[in-house]
C-alpha cells in the first residue's frame, strides 16, 4: 500500500486552494465585466480550463443519463395527443357520414336536388392578418358570390357565412365570432338553441338540465341539410344552476386550411 507523505498532502491542499481562488477571481471579474490584461489572461484561462472541462463533462454526463427519459416522456405526451386527435377526427367523420345519409334520404323524400351548388375558393388571409374570426377569399360577385352564402370545409361541415362581397374577393365571418348567436340543433333530440360564439372557432350553448346531451353529440344548423357545426367537447353545470353549458368548437383547424367551399343559399 502506498501512503502520501505529509508534504505531498499539504501541496495538494495548497494547489486546490489556489485553483478555487483563481476561479473566484475570474467569476468576480466576469460578473463585473472586468477583463484581466492580456499578459494575465492566458495563464488564468489555462488554470481555469480543467475546471471548465470537468463542468462540461458533468453536464454532458447528466444529459446522457436523463435525455432518454425526457425523450420517452415527450414521445408519450405526443402519442397521447395524436390518439386524442385521431379519435376526434373519427367522430367527425362518423358524424359527417351519418348526416350525408340523412340528408340524402330527406331530399329524396322531399323531391329536392341531391347536389348543392358550390364554388371552391382559396383563402387569401386569416387572423391576425384579417379581422378577428374572418377569412378573406379570392372569389367575389364576378363568380356569383353573395352575402349570406355559406362557407364550408365539406358540403356537410360549415364554418361561417359571407358577410361582404367585392368583385374578386369576399369576407367570410365565422359563426364563432364573439357574441354572435347562431341557431343550432343539439344531440339526438335535436334540441333547438342559440350557439354563442366565443372566438377562435369556439362556442357555448346553454340548455336546461333536463335535455339529454353527451360528449361527442353532433351540433348542426337546423335546416333540411343538417350541416355539421361541431361536436360537444365538454359539459359544465353547477349544483344550483338549472342550466348546463355545452362547449364545442369547429371540427377543423382553420390555421392550416387553404381552400374553402362557398355554398349558394
Please report the DSSP string for 72-95 in residue order. HHHHHHHHHHHHHHHHHHHHHHHH
Given a cut of 90, whether residue 12 has pLDDT beyond it is no
Contacts of 172 (CB under 8 A, 6+ apart): 134, 135, 136, 137, 151, 159, 160, 161, 162, 163, 260
* Pairing of the two strands 243-249 and 218-220: unpaired
Q: Is the dihedral of CA 190, 196, 199, 203 positive or negative?
A: negative
Is the pLDDT higher at 234 or at 104? 234
Over residues 17-38, the mean pLDDT reads 57
Reported as a single tens digit per residue, the pLDDT across 99-134 is 555 555 444 544 444 456 789 999 998 887 778 899
Q: Does residue 237 contact residue 207 with C-beta atoms inside 8 Å? A: no
pLDDT tens digits, one per residue of 197-206: 999 999 999 9
In terms of pLDDT, which residue wins out, 226 or 187?
187
Mean pLDDT of the chain: 75
Element (H, E) at 159: strand 157-165
Q: By C-alpha distance, which of 234, 235, 228 is closest to 251?
A: 228
Residue 207 · residue 195 · CB < 8 Å: no
What pLDDT sits at residue 111? 47
Where residue 32 falls among pLDDT bands split at 50, 70, 90? very low
Please compute the mean of the pLDDT values over residues 32-57 and round it to a whole number. 51
User: Which grid cell sits at 12?
Assistant: 495538494
What does the pLDDT average to over 211-220? 90
Structure confidence at residue 189 as a pLDDT band (50, 70, 90): confident
pLDDT range class, residue 35, cuts 50, 70, 90: very low
Q: Which among 137, 193, 185, 127 is positioned nearest to 163, based on CA atoms?
A: 137
Amino acid at each position: 500500500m502506498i501512503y502520501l507523505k505529509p508534504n505531498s498532502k499539504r501541496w495538494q491542499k495548497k494547489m486546490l486552494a489556489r485553483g478555487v481562488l483563481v476561479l473566484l477571481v475570474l467569476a468576480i471579474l466576469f460578473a463585473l465585466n472586468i477583463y484581466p490584461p492580456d499578459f494575465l489572461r492566458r495563464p488564468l484561462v489555462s488554470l481555469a480550463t480543467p475546471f471548465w472541462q470537468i463542468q462540461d463533462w458533468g453536464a454532458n454526463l447528466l444529459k446522457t443519463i436523463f435525455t432518454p427519459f425526457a425523450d420517452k416522456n415527450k414521445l408519450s405526451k405526443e402519442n397521447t395527443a395524436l390518439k386524442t386527435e385521431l379519435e376526434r377526427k373519427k367522430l367527425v367523420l362518423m358524424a359527417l357520414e351519418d348526416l350525408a345519409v340523412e340528408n340524402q334520404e330527406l331530399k329524396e323524400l322531399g323531391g329536392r336536388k341531391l347536389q348543392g351548388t358550390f364554388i371552391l375558393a382559396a383563402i387569401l388571409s386569416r387572423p391576425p392578418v384579417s379581422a378577428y374570426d374572418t377569412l378573406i377569399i379570392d372569389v367575389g360577385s364576378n363568380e356569383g358570390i353573395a352575402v349570406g352564402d355559406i362557407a364550408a370545409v365539406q358540403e356537410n361541415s360549415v364554418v361561417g357565412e359571407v358577410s361582404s362581397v367585392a368583385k374578386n374577393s369576399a369576407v367570410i365571418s365565422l359563426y364563432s365570432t364573439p357574441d354572435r348567436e347562431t341557431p343550432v340543433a343539439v344531440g339526438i333530440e335535436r334540441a333547438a338553441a342559440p350557439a354563442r360564439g366565443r372566438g377562435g372557432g369556439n362556442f357555448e350553448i346553454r340548455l336546461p338540465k333536463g335535455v339529454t346531451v353527451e360528449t361527442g353529440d353532433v351540433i348542426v344548423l337546423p335546416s333540411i341539410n343538417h350541416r355539421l357545426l361541431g361536436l360537444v367537447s365538454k359539459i359544465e353545470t353547477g349544483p344550483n344552476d338549472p342550466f348546463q353549458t355545452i362547449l364545442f368548437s369547429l371540427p377543423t383547424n382553420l390555421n392550416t386550411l387553404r381552400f374553402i367551399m362557398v355554398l349558394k343559399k
